[in-house]
Amino acid sequence: MSAPRRGNSQQDAGRTFAEACASLKLEHPSHAGLIEAWIERQPEMVAGAIGGTVEIVAELRARKVPLYALSNWSAETFPSF
């Protein structure tokens, strides 16, 4: 029997942030504000582009190298970044 999926692995499997927050608030009601901050303040948790990356991508694009991206970023939060 495998262990239950917890944490972000459930988001990777398609659980929404709203579902995650609701579940966590039931488990930890005294931390409801912090749990809400997890999604509401997510933009503050990303510092920006990794130094040099934008320049490398621009150079590759200028050389007409095909560019692709693979990410496990949430479909809910990806558009805002």
DSSP H or E segment with residue 21? helix 17-27
**36 burial level (CB within 10 Å; 0-12, 13-18, 19+):** middle
Tens digit of each residue's pLDDT (9 = 90 or more) over 21-59: 999 999 999 999 999 998 889 888 888 888 899 999 999
- State residue 65's pLDDT score: 98
This prediction has a pTM of 0.59
Distance CA(17)–CA(21), nearest Å, equals 6
Q: How far apart are CA 59 and CA 53, in angstroms?
A: 10
